[in-house]
Amino acid sequence: MSTLEREQGIILDTQSELDRREKNERRDPTFKGFLIGCFNRQRRQQRRTDSNTHYETDWYDTKLLVMALALLLLSAADAGMTMTLLNNGAVEVNPFMNFLLNHSTHTFIYTKLALTSVCIIVLVTHYHSKIFNTLRVAILLIFALFIYSALVIYEILLLLYN
């Protein structure tokens, strides 16, 4: 068998393998795969330990759920206390939220909770990532929890002393 025949055989084998792969890719997302993934969670940690890039899991710690719910509850408390403070004569200094307040109270509350919810979802799904390869998103989530807690405490003090 000549070298040319061997090379042509290799090319034909490679071409047939490429043709086979193009027809049905097992890694393509499907609805069936989504349903299976919803009830059969398996990825709990990074697949390869040598990789420092972002990775997603489909199984999260309970502490992450508690932090996310605490942030959402603090956001709702902030919205409620903001409305109470505004009824007592305070002024909203955030121009975007002030615009929403001038439009409607319901719009203000729904938008505030929706924006907070979307941010929480993004932070939770990227929990294991780093921002600019320096700051872990987990730290950012904890920082947001402390900031919201301080804001709610500040609003409580405003309600008590005014």
| DSSP per residue, 69-115 | HHHHHHHHHHHHHHHHHHHTT-----HHHHHHHHH-HHHHHHHHHHH
11 belongs to a structural domain: no
In a domain, 125, yes or no: yes
pLDDT of residue 132: 76
Give the domain extent around 117.
Answer: 48-161
pLDDT value at residue 146:
95
Reported as a single tens digit per residue, the pLDDT across 1-58 is 567 666 666 666 666 655 555 555 666 667 776 666 666 655 555 555 555 555 555 6
Residue 23 within a domain? no
Share of the chain above pLDDT 90, in %: 33
Do you know the residue count of the chain?
162
Residue 68 lies in a domain: yes
Q: What is the CA radius of gyration of the chain?
A: 26
Contact yes or no for 141/123 (Cβ under 8 A)? yes
The predicted model scores a pTM of 0.65
State yes or no: pLDDT of 94 exceeds 80: yes
The verdict on residue 72 lying in a domain is yes
**Structural domain contains residue 33:** no
Higher pLDDT, 142 or 27: 142
Rounded to the nearest integer, the mean pLDDT of the chain is 78
Look at 60 and 130; give whichever has higher pLDDT. Answer: 130
- Domain annotation covers residue 105: yes
Does residue 7 form part of some domain? no
Domain count, the chain: 1
Query: Does residue 80 contact residue 105 with C-beta atoms inside 8 Å?
Result: no
